[in-house]
Chains A and B, each alone.
Chain A
Amino acid sequence: MSGVLTEADFEFELPAARPAGPMPLSLRGVSKAWDKGRVPVLNRVDLDLDAGDKVRIAGRNGVGKTTLMRIAAGLIDADRGEAAVWGTSAVASPERYQRLVSFLPAGDRGLYARLSVRRQLDFWARIAMVPRREVRARVEEAIEIFDLRELADRRVDRMSMGQRQRLRIAMTFMPHPDVLLLDEPLTSLDGEGAEILFAAIERVLDRGGALLWCSPAGERLDYEFDRTYMLDEGKLVRA
């Protein structure tokens, strides 16, 4: 080796530059302990999602994935640290924050059993503060995209679990959020439902949105993520 540096020596790939401004989703130093004085379920977790990012968090049952998602959604507070979307804090500006994120909680809850699909979608569109003149179009769009046409006038308590999940997903996408937080979204979905979901996610990402997906370790997924993290002992580890 001559010791003389040539141009070729400088041809290495620089890490992708982070934008100077705030990120679509930023979790900073997030900690949460369910019992005070005991080991926290989340221990100073940092996570940034850039525009177009698809990130998955996996881990064992009960490891704290849902807790992290709930904090990211602004449903519960972290003991320390904070969640922000485009610099808007979940705790300090909850109303603005909720206009930017949309969270699909795990399970099958969050539906009014005696309302039809169409009424349910109309209700959540208005609660999500979708502009009044757009409500009807958004409802029809959700019915179309998530293939709910045949079910539109059916009451929720007369639907199967998979159909309910499709409705819950439709409700999550309807406000056109910047950040999608999906907690075990494939629960009860058939293959066709999963394909519809993946296509809907891609449309959000194409608009510059970001996805945080959470599911148990070992779940078989026919979907590519930009990054996958394992949550273990309160820390996120790149998988």
Chain B
Amino acid sequence: MTAFGENLSAFYAVVRRDFHVFLSYRTRLVSQILTSIFSLTLFYYVSRLVRVEGFTTPDRYFGFVVVGIALVGVLYSCFAVSETIRQELVAGTFERLLLSPFGGVRGAVATMIFPLAYAFLMASVTLGLGVVIFGMELHWSTVPLALPALFLALLAFLPFGLFFCALTVATKQANIGASWVIALLSIVGGLYFPIALLPGWAQFAAEVQPFTPATELLRHLLVDAPMETSIGLGLVKIVVFAELLVPLALYALHRAIRLGQRRGTIIEY
């Protein structure tokens, strides 16, 4: 048995654990689908009510915002993992992860897989509902390319979740400021409206995080929204963010755990 095989088995165990825990709450999926339908309904009528500069038809704006809604779910799931880690600290299961050869860092990374996969599924459901119920038009010829693009986007979003996991391990509080960060990223990432409408300083903020290029690229591939830059440049930005931030976030989590072990505070919650 190789170390790779053992690690794969451990990652699989974490994903399966989260899947079974998810299944044990039977109404969760229905509740989230209903939330998605309510959001789509709201923005469908907003798109009919308000004429947004830069969009030729209400349907163009609706397609734009549906992709944003789908993506914010993915972003939110990254941050929500810190709440899961907080629950694990309280339940003593994070302690058991530390007492295993798999360890806390790999345990936290593995804990992100199911929520991200689920967020990906919910993003697809949101797009599907947009198409089926509200007649949204997808740009089918480039939709398959959205899959690898979304995978890259996930890699670029993942470090935010890991940073907040590190913060949770260090402070024992989940989501300190996470809701602010999500709100900020929603605005500067152009979730509900084009970033061109933002003031200059906010447009700078739009350039220094991966959410904006990921959203722009996915909108282009899914609903044929025009891109400010080329597809290549968008991809490069996402890859660079992922390559820079993933190792940094992993290191931050490792340091937070080691600090807790040195001080003995890792057992606190």
Can you spell out 11 A-B residue pairs with CB atoms less than 8 angstroms apart?
A74-B99, A76-B262, A98-B103, A110-B91, A110-B95, A111-B91, A112-B91, A127-B13, A127-B107, A129-B7, A129-B9
A171 / chain B contacts, CB cutoff of 8 Å: 96
Let me know if A133 and B1 touch, CB within 8 A: yes
The interface-forming segment of A6-14, A55-63, A116-124 is A116-124
- The reply to whether A76 and B21 contact each other, CB–CB distance below 8 Å, is no
Contact A131 B6 (CB under 8 A): yes
Most B CB atoms within 10 A — which of A107, A124, A127, A171?
Answer: A127
Contact A115 B21 (CB under 8 A): yes
- Interface membership of B267, Cβ < 8 A: yes
User: Which listed residue (A70, A109, A119, A135) contacts B9, Cβ 8 A?
Assistant: A135
Residues A110 and B6 in contact in the complex (CB < 8 Å), given A103-B99, A126-B13, A129-B100: no
10 A-B pairs besides A32-B264, A103-B99, A123-B13 with CB distance below 8 A are A77-B264, A98-B99, A98-B100, A105-B95, A110-B93, A110-B95, A112-B17, A127-B100, A128-B101, A129-B7
Q: A77-B262, A99-B101, A109-B92 are in contact. Are A114 and B9 (CB under 8 A)?
A: no
Chain A positions near chain B (C-beta within 8 angstroms): 32, 34, 67, 70, 73-77, 94-96, 98-99, 102-103, 105, 107, 109-115, 119, 122-124, 126-129, 131-133, 135, 155, 171
In the complex, what residues of A have CB within 8 A of residue B107's CB? 127
Question: Which residues of chain B have C-beta atoms less than 8 A from A112's C-beta?
Answer: 17, 21, 91, 93
* A-B CB contacts (within 8 Å), total count: 102
Chain A residues within 8 Å of B27, by CB: none
Contacts of B92 in A (CB 8 A): 105, 107, 109-111
B200 located at the interface, meaning its Cβ lies under 8 Å from any Cβ of chain A in the complex = no
B266 contacts chain A at the CB level, 8 A cutoff: yes
Closest chain-B Cβ to A114's Cβ sits at a distance in Å of 4
Known: A77-B262, A127-B97, A129-B101. A113 touches B91 (CB 8 A): yes
**Cα A70 to Cα B92 with chains together (Å):** 13
Cβ–Cβ < 8 Å partners of A128 in chain B: 100-102
Give the CA-CA distance A147 to B103 in the complex, in Å.
Answer: 29
Residues from chain A with Cβ under 8 Å of B9 in the complex? 126, 129, 132, 135
**Residues in A neighbouring B24, C-beta threshold 8 A:** 114, 155
Nearest-Cβ distance from residue B129 to partner chain A, whole angstroms: 29
Distance from A187 Cβ to chain B, minimum over Cβ atoms (Å): 14
Contact A111 B93 (CB under 8 A): yes
Contact with A along B5-32 (1 / 0, CB 8 A): 1110110111011001100110000000
Write the chain A residue with the least CB distance to B258: A77
Cβ contacts B98-122/A at 8 Å (1 or 0 each): 1111110001000000000000000
Query: Which residues from A are CB-within-8-Å of B41?
Result: none
Residues of A near B5 (CB, < 8 A) are 132
Q: Which 10 A-B pairs give the minimum distances between C-beta atoms? A: A109-B92, A126-B13, A131-B1, A110-B92, A114-B24, A129-B6, A76-B264, A127-B100, A129-B101, A98-B101
Q: Which residue of A lies closest to B104 (CB)?
A: A94
Q: A113 to B87, alpha carbons, bound, how many Å?
A: 12
Given known A95-B103, A126-B12, contact A76–B93 (CB-CB < 8 A): no
Q: Would A123 and B17 count as touching, CB distance under 8 A?
A: yes
Q: Is B35 an interface residue (CB 8 A)?
A: no
Are B99 and A75 in touch, CB under 8 angstroms? yes
Q: Is the CB of A75 within 8 A of B266?
A: yes
Residues of B within 8 Å of A107, CB to CB, are: 92
Q: Nearest A residue to B264 by beta-carbon distance?
A: A76
Knowing A111-B93, A114-B24, the reply to whether A75 touches B98 (Cβ < 8 A) is yes
